[in-house]
Amino acid sequence: MGISERKQREKEQRRHDIILAAEGVFFSKGIHVATVDEVAEAAELSKGTLYLYFKNREELIAAVFHRGMDLLQQMMVGSSLQSSKAIDKIRALGRVYLDFAKKHPDHFALLLEKELHRLAMDDSTPEAQSCVESGLQLLTMLKLLIIQGIQEGSIRNDIDPARMALIVWGQIHGVIAIASQEEHSDHFQKFCSFDLESIVTTTIEMIVNGIIK
C-alpha cells in the first residue's frame, strides 16, 4: 500500500470514528441540544480537526442519518433477495423496517426528529439534498417492487406505483412510530391490547390485501 492510499484509509477511518462519536452524543443528549464541541470531545479531537471533516453541525446530522439509512438499506437488500415474488418482497420489507426499528431504535428515532425534518426542508444545502436523496432511494426500491408486481400480475394495474410506494411506506412507518412509543402505555392497551409485532404484521397484511390483484 502506497503512502497516499494509507493516508486516504486513515482519513476515512477518522471520519467514520467521528460519525460514531456524533451518534453517541446525539442519541444520548438529543439532536436538538447536542453541540459540535461535545462531539469533538467524544471523538478525542480538537474542534478545528473535526471541522476538517465536517464543516458544521448539519453535516454531522446528515452523516449520522446516512449511516442509519445505510444500515436499513443493507437489511432490506438482504431480505429482498430471499424472495422472488414482488408481493412477498413487500411483506419482507415491512418486517425488515420493524426489525430496524427494534435493533436500531436511536436511528429510527432520528427519522422522527423535527431537527432532521427542518434540515431536509431547507433543500438548498448539500446536506439536505443528500438526506432527501437517501430517503428517495428507499421509496424507489418500493416503487420498483410494485411495478414488478403489476408486471407479474399479482398487484392491481390500476394504481400509480410512485403514489402507492409513498402510501405504503407512510403507513408502515407511521404505525411503527406510534405503536413503538405506545406499546407499554396503559391508555393504549386499554383501548386496544396489542404488541408491536402483531400490529405491524396486521398493517402489512392490510396493505397487501389492498393492492393485490
155 bridge partner residues: 212
Query: CA-CA distances (angstroms) from residue 70 to 18, 42, 167?
Result: 17, 23, 22
Contact 179, 167 (CB under 8 A): no
Q: Where are the domains of the chain?
A: 1-54, 65-211
Q: Kindly tell me the number of DSSP H helices and DSSP E strands found in the chain.
A: 11, 0
- Tens of pLDDT, residue by residue over 153-167, are 999 999 999 999 999
- Tens of pLDDT, residue by residue over 41-93, are 999 999 999 999 998 888 898 889 889 988 998 898 877 667 789 999 999 99
> Position of cell 443493507?
74
Q: May I ask the CATH architecture of the domain 1-54?
A: Orthogonal Bundle (1.10)
pTM here is 0.83
The correct answer on CATH 1.10.357.10 for the domain covering 65-211 is yes
